[in-house]
Amino acid sequence: MNAVRWILGLAVLAYYAAPAMAQQSSTLAAFNYNLEEEQAADAPAADAPAAEEQADSSSENCGDPACGCEDASCGCGGGCGLLGDCCLGDAWTLKENLSPCCDVNYGGWFQTGYHSDNTGLSNQFNDLLDFNDVPDQLNMHQAWLYGEKLADGSCCSWDWGYRFDVVYGTDAQKTQAFGNEDNVWDVSFDNGEYGWAIPQAYAQLAYGDWSFKIGHFFTLVGYEVVPATGNFFYSHALTFYNSEPFTHTGVLGSYEASDRMTYHLGWVLGWDTGYDQYGNGNAIHTGFTRQASDDVSVSYMLTAGNFGFRSGDEGGYSHSVVVTADLNACTQYVLQTDYIHTDGLYGDPTVESEDYGINQYLFYTLNDCWKLGSRLEWWKSDQ
């Protein structure tokens, strides 16, 4: 009988500059304690699909006078909670206090935690088969720093920007460019179970409703993301770790057709490569995000072509569909389905593989500080 697993996660924000990587912060088991208010996902919307954005309509334009709300009767929690109202106010940012007029954003966070057992497919110490593969000790999962300048094409002229992320911790080796053929970029920056990674380093161009990333960037595939601030749970779904890419190197264009529809189209050097490719790794990375209604959003993302190491330098196809629905002011439901087929697997061109995944998430907001969540996953793989 498997040992009963208990997981304790505690994430502490060292400093944070808007726009945030995503809307959620630290985790304590199935509870989520937000250390900052919801922030607009400008650049992060390209780092993680729009479905990852957690709408919090219950707290919009609502709060007590200390938080800038003229009507104290509405309450910060919007009447959802069993724990009463909670008012955090605006997040403190290092940039706002040191260089508020600078157009360069910078920030970061620390995330640390303890788990008694390996999670996912991991079964040995530091076997790199899941993020939580270093049990029975307190780990620094992510010490993260980033800097960015957002490209703004709204003035009908070209503008430029960039983004650079660096992370140290036990999570770093899992988001290195392990899909490279040689030990280039960050794949050799290891220190035992700890290591360094540079998951993003790209330039950005924007004109009107178009924007382009050129370089090394996070994938648009899926619901869960690598940055701890973008996930509710301490652990990750099997689909996320085994059936989806983390990063790409290439060019990714985005076109905002309307305030409800955005299209993405790009070319990448396979999966999880850093300014290099494995064999003949070349693939398209495309899809769209659609705000179907005020309460429902849909994201469809696919990759097709040669994934490099992941497909054994052979052909492959994958897609991920994420539907996010606000059932009411306090309850949110997320459905994700994934499919991947490759003619090779992990450097072996002779092994054909198929993966299927169905993930379901249900979140209930108690107030602006506390949230409950659950995840139910079915995953099948030829691996």
Q: pLDDT digit string (tens) for 192-243?
A: 999 999 999 999 999 999 999 999 999 999 999 999 999 999 999 999 999 9
* Residue predicted with more confidence, 59 or 122: 122
Closest CA to 324 of 209, 226, 199, 232: 232
Residue pair 219/248 in contact (Cβ under 8 Å)? The answer is: yes
HSE, side-chain direction, 13 A CA sphere, residue 62: 19
State the average pLDDT over residues 33-57. 40
Report pLDDT for 81: 58
Least confident of 59-63, 117-121, 294-298, 340-344: 59-63
Report pLDDT for 21: 38
Token pair for 227? 């940055």
